[in-house]
Each structure stands twice: as C-alpha cells, then as structure tokens.
Amino acid sequence: MALDEFCDEFYLDHPDKSVQQQRLDPVPQPVGNPRIDAWIGAAGEHLAQRWGLKVPPWTQRECHFALEHPIFLPTTLAVRGIVIVESPPAFRSRLIFTRVEPFERARFPRDVPRAKVPLAWPPPEETAAEREERELHGAL
C-alpha cells in the first residue's frame, strides 16, 4: 500500500487510537533502498508520536537509519533552513528534513490542530491524568 493511501486510512480511523495502533504495528519488509526504508521508519515513528500512540519497535531497525547523506524535501535550496528547523524528530534522526506536518493531506482530521513547531524531543513524560484521558478515548 502506498504511504499516501495508508495515511488516508489512518486519518479516517481517527479518533480510534486502537485501530490506528493496529495499522502501525505490522512489520513492513525492508525494500532495500536506504532512502525509502528511512522514510518508512520515519513515517511509522512520526505517526505514532504525532497521534499519541506507542512507537512500533520495527521503526528502530538498522535498515531505517541507513542514509549516509541528508535528504531535503522539498529539495529547493531556499527552504533548507526552514525544514532543518521544522523537521519532526523521527525524520531528523534519519537525516530526512521535511515540513513540520509531513503527512498533511485532505483527509487529515479537521478537529486536530496542525503542528506549528516540531514535536518535542524527547517526548515529555505523560501525567497520570493524561494517561487516563488517553486510555479513556482509546477504549472508545
């Protein structure tokens, strides 16, 4: 399944966190192209972090960190400084520099605020109240 289609279905599952987690958990096979494998690992880790899910262990495999040189998306030199600053941690750690909301699509849930700055890294510790709220909404 293409990543765009995956994101559309993932967003349509919102706000059901358990179904979104089930979409992220299956282990994809490496394709053997460092650029694509890095993007797949970043996508899985970022979606989990962005939507408050558990980061699947497969995202930390060596094949998802195999880039030797940075990639800038978009490739325009004029925006390199912006994407270096805005790039979410899951992408930066893999030498991929992209927009703050790399998977913003038409099906992105309307009731969810768009990211304005990169996600905090490391993620802040979840409070008991936040965990209870997440579990309550995830059980729906």
pLDDT attached to residue 133: 76
pLDDT attached to residue 92: 94
- Enter the tokens of residue 38: 């890095």
pLDDT attached to residue 138: 59
Give this prediction's pTM.
Answer: 0.77
Of 133 and 98, more confident: 98
- Enter the tokens of residue 105: 């699509």
pLDDT attached to residue 128: 79
Which whole number is the average pLDDT over 83-110? Answer: 87
C-alpha span between 65 and 130 (Å, rounded): 31
CB neighbours (10 Å) of residue 61? Answer: 15
Which whole number is the average pLDDT over 99-124? Answer: 72
CB neighbours (10 Å) of residue 15? Answer: 13
Verify cis geometry, omega within 30 degrees of 0, for the bond prior to 123: no
User: Domain locations in the chain?
Assistant: 3-138
How many residues are listed for the chain in this entry?
140
Of 136 and 82, more confident: 82
